[in-house]
Amino acid sequence: MKEVAITRTIIKNHMSRLLDRLENDVVIAGGGPSGLVAGFYLAKAGKKVTLLEKKLSLGGGIWGGGMGYKFAVVEENALPILDDFGIRYIKDDNMYAIDSIELASGLIYGAVKAGVEIFNLTSVEDVVVQDGRVKGVVINSSPIEIAGLHVDPITLISKITVDATGHDLEVVRVLARKNEIKLLTPTGSILGERSMDAEEGEKFTVENTGEVFPGLYVAGMAAVACFGGPRMGPIFGGMLLSGKKLAKLIMENLK
Q: Is the pLDDT of residue 44 over 90?
A: yes
* Residues 6 or more apart in contact with residue 194 via CB below 8 angstroms: 228, 229, 230, 231
Query: How does DSSP assign 165-197, residue by residue?
Result: -GGG-HHHHHHHHHS----SSSSSS----BS--
CATH of domain 21-254: 3.50.50.60
The confidence score (pLDDT) of residue 115 equals 98
Tell me the pLDDT tens digit for each residue of 124-150.
Answer: 999 999 999 999 999 999 999 999 999
Domain ranges of the chain: 21-254
The confidence score (pLDDT) of residue 1 equals 87
Q: Over 122-145, what HEC string results?
A: EEEEEEEEECCEEEEEEEEEHHHH
Per-chain mean pLDDT for the chain: 98
Is residue 236 classed as helix, strand or coil in its secondary structure?
Answer: coil
Q: Kindly state the average pLDDT of the residues 15-31.
A: 98
- Measure Cα distances from 51 to 97, 103, 116, 163, 232 in Å: 27, 18, 7, 10, 24
The confidence score (pLDDT) of residue 90 equals 98
The confidence score (pLDDT) of residue 46 equals 98
Indicate the Cα dihedral angle 145, 147, 148, 150, nearest 10°. -80
The confidence score (pLDDT) of residue 21 equals 98
User: What's the pLDDT band for 51 if we cut at 50, 70, 90?
Assistant: very high
The confidence score (pLDDT) of residue 70 equals 96
Tell me the pLDDT tens digit for each residue of 152-210.
Answer: 999 999 999 999 999 999 999 999 999 999 999 999 999 999 999 999 999 999 999 99
Q: 0.85 exceeded by the pTM?
A: yes
Q: Kindly state the average pLDDT of the residues 71-84.
A: 98
Q: Is the pLDDT of residue 244 over 90?
A: yes
The confidence score (pLDDT) of residue 83 equals 98
The confidence score (pLDDT) of residue 25 equals 98
